[in-house]
């Protein structure tokens, strides 16, 4: 189910950033990669459902760049759940879990040109750190990402 959420979110939000050939393969990979990733157990995954249907997931863990922080590596909502509040509830639960685990700071990266995700992170209490990076998803064409951060109280 995590792979389905990831793939469907990507299909709607990211199609314009990649060539059609690369994009089709990227969506296929996102649909199938989660079983192995979750089996590794290197991070924490949380799933949120609405009326019994899983519609959003978060995946987070220790930040490789900032040992004192957690990083949200993935936060995706199925388009059928957009606007329902399920993603907001999941973010609240994810941040609570990190806080309960002793995390003081959280950061994440999102594409610069995705206003919907940027509004969501701002609404969730994150602020832009001012750091921008180019990220290559595998097609040789880096896309700008912006970093968001949050201090947990």
**pLDDT per residue as tens digits for the range 87-132:** 999 999 999 999 999 999 999 999 999 999 999 999 999 999 999 9
pLDDT grade for 41, boundaries at 50, 70 and 90 = confident
3 belongs to a structural domain: no
- Percentage of residues in the chain having pLDDT higher than 90: 88
* C-alpha to C-alpha distance for 44 and 70, rounded to whole angstroms: 11
Under a CB-based contact definition with an 8 Å cutoff, are residues 81 and 50 in contact?
Answer: yes
The residue among 115, 49, 53 whose CA lies nearest residue 85 is: 49
Structurally, how many domains does the chain consist of? 1
- Percentage of residues in the chain having pLDDT higher than 70: 100
CATH of the domain at 121: 3.40.630.30
Give the per-residue pLDDT at 35: 86
100 belongs to a structural domain: yes
142 belongs to a structural domain: yes
124 belongs to a structural domain: yes
Mean pLDDT, residues 63-74: 93
Angle between the N-to-C axes of helices 20-32 and 2-13, in degrees from 0 to 180, rounded to the nearest 10: 160
29 belongs to a structural domain: no
Residue-number span of the structural domain to which 115 is assigned: 43-151
């Amino acid at each position: 189910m995590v792979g389905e959420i990831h793939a469907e979110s990507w299909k709607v939000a990211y199609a314009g950033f990649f060539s059609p050939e690369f994009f089709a393969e990227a969506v296929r990979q996102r649909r199938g990669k989660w079983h192995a990733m979750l089996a590794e157990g290197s991070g924490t995954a949380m799933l949120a459902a609405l009326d019994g249907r899983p519609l959003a997931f978060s995946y987070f863990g220790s930040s490789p760049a900032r040992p004192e922080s957690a990083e949200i590596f993935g936060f995706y909502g199925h388009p059928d759940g957009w606007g329902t509040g399920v993603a907001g509830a999941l973010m609240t639960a994810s941040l609570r879990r990190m806080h309960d685990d002793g995390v003081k700071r959280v950061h994440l990266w999102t594409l610069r040109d995705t206003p919907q995700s940027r509004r969501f992170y701002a609404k969730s209490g994150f602020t832009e750190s001012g750091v921008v990076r180019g990220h290559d998803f595998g097609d040789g064409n880096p896309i700008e990402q912006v970093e968001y951060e949050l201090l947990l109280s």
